[in-house]
Amino acid sequence: MCAGSDSAFSPARCWAGCDKRPRGVPCQVHDLWHVVFALPPTFLGEVALKWLEAAQTGLPMCALGAFAGGVRLKPGQRAMVVRHVLPWALRHAASGADLLSVYYERELERPLDALRAELRVELLPQTLR
């Protein structure tokens, strides 16, 4: 993953592996948000990102995916999602930064911290990622 607080987006690293996805499914904003929000592609990272997507887009399918994924978490992880991830996702959605309107391809050479600052990205504490 090309997430790093002091690194720049690297197209070669960020897009590496996209062609290895099943049936040529193209990379999507979801994959870039993993990098921008420093969320690992773990089950907990996916659930956290789905809650962010649900808060950002208001789409029922995102909320359903986040909820269904959350059911499969261990009880301690579910409690962490309720206490920390949900408020974080709602705060970020209320911050006014529209993450869907970012032309990410134009941002690939920028330092990641600069992009995060412009988008007012609040990272989850390291212990929650």
Q: Could you tell me the two tokens for 77? A: 């992880």
Left, alpha or beta for 14 (phi > 0: left; psi -120 to 50: alpha)?
alpha
Left, alpha or beta for 122 (phi > 0: left; psi -120 to 50: alpha)?
beta
pLDDT digits (tens, 9 = 90+) for 17-50: 554 443 333 357 888 999 999 999 999 999 999 9
Residue 123: the pLDDT is 94
Query: What is the mean pLDDT of the segment spanning 91-119?
Result: 90
* 4, 112 contact by CB (below 8 A): yes
Going from the C-alpha of 18 to that of each of 14, 22, 43, 129, the distances in angstroms are: 8, 9, 19, 22
Cα atoms in the 13 Å half-sphere on the side-chain side of 40 = 8
In this predicted structure, the answer to whether residue 13 has a pLDDT above a threshold of 80 is no
In terms of residues, how long is the chain? 129
pTM: 0.76
